[in-house]
Structure 1
Amino acid sequence: MLVRRKKWITQCAKLTASVALLATGLGFAMQADASKGLVAMSQSGMENEWRVVNTKEMEKAWKDAGYDFVWTNANQDPAKQLSDVQDLLARKPKVLIIEPVEYEPAAPVPALAKRAGVPLIVADRALPGTPGKDGYISLLTISYEDTGERVAKDVVAQLTKKNGKPEGKLLHVTGNTGAAPVLEEQKGLGSVFAKYPGIKLIAKCDGKYSREGGRKCTEDFLQSFPKGSIDGIVFDSDDEMIGGLTAIKAANRTDLKGYLWGKDGTADGLHAILDGWASYTVQTPPTFGAQAVKVFEQSQAGKPVPPVSYSDKKEFDAHTPEHRALIEQRLKELKAMGVGCC
């Protein structure tokens, strides 16, 4: 009798544990069901560290806000991005976020989202249409035209020091041809250089915002433009600049030392300035996640939303000891954050 009672107690204990485990599982299911819904993102690519941080920050912001999050990688292919968008819309997310590969090819996206009944937020690069009106809630971006103006002003200052007046021949390694930031940054560069006809951009090459692209473009440039024929190179990203610097060092083109300009404020870009190879870089913050959550939830609550929101940025150079100290401080901040960019 005692043996049977012990077996019965053991079986009850196992049953209780099973019920508890089931309840725990149901609890997890209830927590999952309690999600505010699915958020989908079409990322243009993951070709550099900026994009990696950009994607991770977007995912963290939405998950911290209580949403599930999925994303796709277009691998810099506009056609693939449209296919990705259609697949994501088929999942009926609460909101779709797109960071376009290129400006014009992304034009169908607002209509696709509207047809699917899914709100749309555009981040980083623009697409055709008016934010807040033509099928999307808002554009979260950086003023790339302002970035181009800032880069150009440093170019003017440094070439004036070098040549005694604002003149010189420059090469330009651009980002993805046709992408909104490239078009806008070129506009900013042009608006400043138009005031100094002695400064000319004599050749350009699409480096696709990548180190390898920057290296290849620069190698081709150096073969076409020997020492003494150019005064510097403008790169649309620090990754391109670092790739280009590899080619410059391999070719022993010390004539270009100090006359490279970048964009993004990456750790490697900052080190290139401290080492005397680069003159200047300006931040391109990759953090749009918190803005996206805020814009979406305000819109859903019927509150007014700014059609365009711009991120703040900082400039970096080593033209003075104080500016050099700012770079060193920024590198410490990046190391503490465990990231190498922005």
Structure 2
Amino acid sequence: MPTVETVVTETINISSLYPSHMNEDIVMGFSQLGSESDWRLANTASIVESAKEAGITLLLENAEQSQQAQFSAIRSFIEKQVDVIAIAPVVQTGWENILQEIKEAGIPVVIIDRSVNVEDTSLYVTFIGSDFYEEGIKAGKYALDKMRNKPGGIRIAELEGTVGSTPSIDRGRGFRDVIQERDDMEIIMSQPADFTIEGGKKVMEQFLQEAGEQPPQLLFAHNDDMAIGAIQAIEEFGLEPGKDIIIISVDGTRQAFEMMIEGKINAVIECNPLQGSLLMQAAREIMGGRTLPKRIIPPEDIFTQEYAHLEIDHRKY
């Protein structure tokens, strides 16, 4: 069983809500939000592989960034009377009605990766996912440390993720809360790039064209894929990523570690996609009528270019 950090703000007595059938086969319906990045592909693979290892039948539907597609998939899971529904939500709002439908059907829900913003938290059993705000905090602290000896007027560019998504909102908020300690650090440009390489390159090209002779000195990308796209744009613009523009990213993919070893990315804040075993364990606990914490956080770290070569062989994605 993987080591996890749990934050117990509330616990749910499963046995009072859902029937226990620990020894029966479990069928899980999983609504994945998309396949927009290497991180997402690793997340899906982890869940598929863990379901096989746990002997849980997995019905997987990929919404490809559409909340309406997620609603349709969830309603199909209800019709099939699955035992557990797991949801990785595209955005954090707009979930009350569909979650109420699931509750009325008597099916427990696990939210994974991204959170949902609902007043009634009894609509789901637990949330398994990273602390995105803390990831932003880590990125901000690295930025302060890296730029501590730079003269004033630090220009920062930010590549945001999907509009309205929990990681984009919380990473940006955590980063800003830290860098405000220094009055001369300013985010001069910030725009969504949809967590994709293509989006990162396109938006970074726009940033560089708009900045002209005063390009940003630091880039905070909300995921590795956008950072990799931005690196392509920076090099085509005639600048050196990692030196002319300090780059901080989030995820921890093997490709990002390769970029750190090459000196093109300065730091990566880890966001662990290998959440499958935690999800299957939660499903077993729910079906066994056991109590779960309301929040489960996988262990994560921050890696810098100086030590990337020591870690790259441990990357599983």
TM (normalized to structure 2)? Answer: 0.87
Indicate the SS of the match to 2:116.
coil
Say which of 202, 206, 209 aligns to 1:223. 209
Say which of 80, 104, 108 aligns to 1:119. 108
Indicate the SS of the match to 1:200.
strand
Identical-residue share of aligned pairs (%)? 20
Report what 1:87 is aligned to.
76
Report what 2:185 is aligned to.
199
Which segments of 5 or more consecutive residues in structure 1 lack a partner in the other structure? Answer: 1-33
In 1, are the aligned partners of 2:266 and 2:304 still within 8 Å (CA)? yes
Which segments of 5 or more consecutive residues in structure 2 lack a partner in the other structure? Answer: 1-22
Report what 2:18 is aligned to.
none
Further displaced range: 68-77 or 286-295? 286-295
Report what 2:220 is aligned to.
234
In 1, are the aligned partners of 2:249 and 2:269 still within 8 Å (CA)? yes
Report what 1:156 is aligned to.
144
Report what 2:87 is aligned to.
98
Q: Does 1:328 align with 2:309?
A: yes
- Work out the CA distance in 1 between the residues paired with 2:155 and 2:138: 18
Further displaced range: 105-114 or 44-53? 105-114
Amino acid in structure 2 at the alignment position of 1:178: G
Report what 1:73 is aligned to.
62
State the number of aligned residues. 294
Shift of 1:306: 0.4
- Work out the CA distance in 1 between the residues paired with 2:242 and 2:278: 40
Further displaced range: 195-204 or 90-99? 195-204
Report what 1:129 is aligned to.
118
In 2, are the aligned partners of 1:125 and 1:180 still within 8 Å (CA)? yes
Alignment of 1:4-19 (within 5 A): none
Report what 1:210 is aligned to.
196
Higher RCO structure, 1 or 2 (CA under 8 Å, sep 6+) = 2
Distance 1:105 1:50, change over 3 A: same
Report what 1:181 is aligned to.
167
In 1, are the aligned partners of 2:56 and 2:280 still within 8 Å (CA)? no
Report what 1:312 is aligned to.
299
Alignment of 1:215-294 (within 5 A): 215-254=201-240, 257=243, 259-294=246-281
Residues 64-111 of structure 1: CA deviation (Å, up to 9, x unaligned)? 212211111111112222122212222111100000000113343321
TM (normalized to structure 1)? Answer: 0.81
Q: Does 1:144 align with 2:125?
A: no
Higher-Rg member (1/2):
1
- Work out the CA distance in 1 between the residues paired with 2:95 and 2:221: 25
- Work out the CA distance in 2 between the residues paired with 1:79 and 1:197: 42
Which protein has the bigger helix share?
1
Residues 103-156 of structure 1: CA deviation (Å, up to 9, x unaligned)? 11334332121122211000000002368x421110001011110000011111
- Work out the CA distance in 2 between the residues paired with 1:217 and 1:154: 23
- Work out the CA distance in 1 between the residues paired with 2:208 and 2:269: 25
Indicate the SS of the match to 2:147.
helix
Indicate the SS of the match to 2:291.
coil
- Work out the CA distance in 2 between the residues paired with 1:160 and 1:241: 22
Shift of 1:303: 2.1
Report what 1:30 is aligned to.
none
Say which of 281, 303, 315 aligns to 2:290. 303
In 2, are the aligned partners of 1:40 and 1:71 still within 8 Å (CA)? yes
- Work out the CA distance in 2 between the residues paired with 1:136 and 1:76: 21
Give structure 1 regions of 4+ aligned residues with deviation exceeding 4 angstroms. Answer: none
In 1, are the aligned partners of 2:241 and 2:265 still within 8 Å (CA)? no
